Structure 1
Amino acid sequence: MRAYWLLLLVVPVLCGLPFTRPAGILVSIAAMVAVAAAVRPSLGLVAAAVSIGVTVIYRGPPQPPGLWLIFELTPLLVLLTRTARAGRSVAALVALAVTVLPLRVTLHQPAHHLDGSVLVVATAFACAVAAAGLGLYRRAQDGRRAHALAAARRSQRLELARDLHDLVAHEVTGIVLEAQAARVAPAAGSYERIEAAGQRALTAMDNMVAALRTSDEDVPPRVHGLADLPGVVSRFGPAATLAIEPGAALPAAAGSVAYHVVIEALTNVRRHAPAAGVAITLSTAGILTVVSDMPEISATRPTGGHGLEGLRERVEAVGGAFGAGPRDGRWEVRCDLSRSADVPGNGRPQP
């Protein structure tokens, strides 16, 4: 690898000798070092130092610097863009090298004029500012892209955590309660219900794994919605009732949220008051309420769960409003999904 870089520096210098004479060796070496640094930015400090040093010590005629100027200026601008994008402090030194580079030509003109030097330096400075600005713009784009990626990953983790809590924990809770009841007084069908709940928990986990593996081109996994609520309520037992007003409808996203709200509410009832009655209603205005005959519960359990907090995030993600708390001696969970486009009477066109 070192031999490759040595050839990259030496061969062009030797090829240029017939045109630049020995006086041009310094400027040609500086140009080749700049080319190497543009390809390999880790050499940026060396390239900037060599360029500035040659500009300071060069005392030859203006023709050699003029010949090599474009071959050094262009890679230095590329290097400046890359170092600015990477946020490296060497970018300032590279910008200085770009700015003073034309002085090798103007300071050695036979009829030197200060105005000419000022003009070319200002032009080179403008090029340096443009290159640095491009690098900083690309750096800002990289930052936004990284932030968006981190936000997407966090959203995916939260969604997975909610599904684990709402779907799997609901079935596992049912399994635990059925097992406890069967241990005290085995009832007909207990083991069948335990088996069915276990199968549903496994199915829910399979669906989550499939969702993580699904690409944009694949068919998305099944999403639970309002049509699944009767089955959930019937499995809870006769203490739970479901009333959906005729004409009540929700879009897929809001319907999935409503399903998760009911699942979490029933899971909390099973944990805190298994014998309590539950009344679930959904109005045509998109208002979902779950009222249960159980005492007040906290939003976060001592075991570290965040069920109500997770539901609030789900509801607010689709533009709804969520509330939970005691009301008239009962515990009420209220979910307002009236902003959904499919809800009649909200002032939006029907699909």
Structure 2
Amino acid sequence: MISEFRSRFRFRHLRQGLVGVALVVLVVLEGLNAPHPAMAAATMVSGVLCLAALAVPERLFARYGLGAAALSCALTVTEAQLSERPPNTPGMVELGALLLLSTRAVRRCPPLRATGLVAVSSLAAVVLPLRIELWDDYLKNLITVIAVCAVPFMVVVGLCLRLYDTLRERERETIRQAQRLEHARELHDFVAHHVTAIVAQTKAARFTAAAGHTQSPEDLDRMLAQIERAGSQALGSMRAMVTSLRDHATASATTRPTGDPAGPRGPRRLRDLRALTEEFSEVGPAAELILAPELADRPLPTGIATTVHRVVQESLTNVRKHATGVGRVEVRIGVRPGHPERLEVSVVDDGQVGASPAAGRSVEGSGYGLVGLAERAEKVNGHITSGPRDGGGWHVLAVLPLDKAATDKTATEETIACDHA
């Protein structure tokens, strides 16, 4: 890829160099049409400077463009006073460069600076035909065409290109914002999940010690091992995320981090979620996964499988962080009754309603986790609801499509984002 980019870069610069050389040769040939060597040299210098002003960096363009246009205008006024002038061409390459200066000024410069530069370069382009020897109706018509048609046309082209640049920059910013949100969701879903486990296990150890209970070396080693494993999983998720940010292609081929069966993009099969519930049960209330048999070995589209994993992961994380008095968590995944094309993901706990900081929250008013889940569900044409349930506890319900159309939409959006990155 790097060698291909370098070859394209070199070919583009080679092509630009050849075009520049050809234009300079034309300027020299037009300059030789002048009757005197001094006039020929002045015409060549003026034409080359106008071409050079088109090629200078943005920070130098206004200064060089204004100087080149002013020099061209001054040369035209000087030659118009002479009795001997070029017989047929005033410098058509220079004329084209002056018109392009107006276009670039409108496209790139601030309005006030662009107005001044367009005025000077347009004036230089309009009066440039006065350099030739014969002043007749043809010359007047040429000046009229330049003033009435060529100059306004080049200004309009500059405005169109300026609008195109603005719209393209907005599109890129929209894509960058979408990518930032995606990375923020990834960081929250993986790293926050593992860090929450570390905090919960540390609190449990401190609570046991503060209560005066004597811990056996085996129990202490088990608790520290759980903390160590959660920390290793957090590091693995961070490493996978950094790899994804540095090189998307490399990230897709990278081996999944140890202890994280979902990897950086989620599982392909729903039965892989069992490892997530088992890990949760080791340091918290019992979590049971109830998976419809017809979905256990069914490979789901990546976008749907990832969203399912995130819903379960975030729900379990919120139980660990916010819920009190939870004895059991039920994770149920199956086909929505009456809607065989829809997948239903339900996470329910039996905690105390009102005792949890998360109680009374809706998806819209919740923290970043539930907001991220709502965004993920909408991205695949699904929806998610969250709230207290009758009889106590908290209920998170996600309804997602099983058809391929939503997946194709998501894959298309990701492809477009990668192409514009």
TM-score range with shorter-chain normalisation? 0.7 to 0.9
Contact 1:17 / 1:25 at 8 angstroms: preserved in 2? no
Contact 2:274 / 2:289 at 8 angstroms: preserved in 1? yes
The CA distance in 2 between the partners of 1:95 and 1:224, in whole Å, is 60
**Deviation readout 1:36-92 (Å, 9 max, x if unpaired):** 423433311122233344445623358428433214212213323332331351234
Contact 1:214 / 1:220 at 8 angstroms: preserved in 2? no
* Residue from 35, 42, 50 that aligns with 1:19: 35
**Structure 1 residues 100, 335: closer, same or farther in 2, change over 3 A?**
farther
Quote how far apart the aligned CAs of 1:255 are.
0.8
**Deviation readout 1:92-120 (Å, 9 max, x if unpaired):** 43234323433554xx745x33x751454
* Residue from 122, 127, 134 that aligns with 1:95: 122
Establish whether residue 31 from structure 1 lines up as the match of residue 47 from structure 2. Answer: yes
Partner SS state of residue 388, structure 2: strand
Quote how far apart the aligned CAs of 1:264 are.
1.0
**Deviation readout 1:210-236 (Å, 9 max, x if unpaired):** 212224376444422234311111122
**Structure 1 residues 123, 216: closer, same or farther in 2, change over 3 A?**
farther
Establish whether residue 43 from structure 1 lines up as the match of residue 61 from structure 2. Answer: no
Q: Which residue of 2 aligns with 1:239?
A: 286
The CA distance in 2 between the partners of 1:171 and 1:218, in whole Å, is 20
The CA distance in 1 between the partners of 2:87 and 2:386, in whole Å, is 77
Report sequence identity in percent. Answer: 34
* Residue from 224, 227, 230 that aligns with 1:191: 224
Instruction: Name whichever of 71-80 and 185-194 sits farther off.
Output: 185-194
The CA distance in 1 between the partners of 2:87 and 2:276, in whole Å, is 82
AA at the equivalent of 2:240: N
**Structure 1, gaps ≥5 residues long:** 1-7, 344-351
Q: How does 1:82-161 map to 2 (within 5 A)?
A: 82-88=104-110, 89=114, 90-105=117-132, 109=134, 112-113=136-137, 117-123=140-146, 125-161=148-184
**Structure 1 residues 310, 140: closer, same or farther in 2, change over 3 A?**
same
Contact 2:330 / 2:349 at 8 angstroms: preserved in 1? yes
Contact 1:244 / 1:283 at 8 angstroms: preserved in 2? yes
Partner SS state of residue 60, structure 1: coil
**Structure 2, gaps ≥5 residues long:** 1-23, 255-262, 336-341, 354-358, 407-421
The CA distance in 1 between the partners of 2:396 and 2:302, in whole Å, is 21
Contact 2:344 / 2:397 at 8 angstroms: preserved in 1? yes
Q: Which residue of 2 aligns with 1:162?
A: 185
**Structure 1 residues 18, 316: closer, same or farther in 2, change over 3 A?**
closer
Quote how far apart the aligned CAs of 1:274 are.
4.9
Q: Which residue of 1 aligns with 2:266?
A: 224
Partner SS state of residue 325, structure 1: strand
**Deviation readout 1:290-313 (Å, 9 max, x if unpaired):** 22233315469x9x9521112112
Contact 1:17 / 1:24 at 8 angstroms: preserved in 2? yes
**Structure 1 residues 174, 50: closer, same or farther in 2, change over 3 A?**
same
Establish whether residue 282 from structure 1 lines up as the match of residue 333 from structure 2. Answer: yes
**Deviation readout 1:254-281 (Å, 9 max, x if unpaired):** 1111111111111111111254232222
The CA distance in 2 between the partners of 1:94 and 1:21, in whole Å, is 26
Establish whether residue 269 from structure 1 lines up as the match of residue 319 from structure 2. Answer: yes
Q: Which residue of 1 aligns with 2:101?
A: 79
Contact 2:361 / 2:387 at 8 angstroms: preserved in 1? no
AA at the equivalent of 2:238: M
AA at the equivalent of 2:246: R
AA at the equivalent of 1:334: L
Contact 1:38 / 1:79 at 8 angstroms: preserved in 2? yes
AA at the equivalent of 2:128: L
Contact 2:385 / 2:397 at 8 angstroms: preserved in 1? yes
TM-score, normalized by length of structure 1?
0.78
Quote how far apart the aligned CAs of 1:134 are.
4.1
AA at the equivalent of 1:204: S
Contact 1:98 / 1:125 at 8 angstroms: preserved in 2? no
**Structure 1 residues 229, 146: closer, same or farther in 2, change over 3 A?**
same
AA at the equivalent of 1:94: S
The CA distance in 1 between the partners of 2:42 and 2:238, in whole Å, is 69
AA at the equivalent of 1:257: T
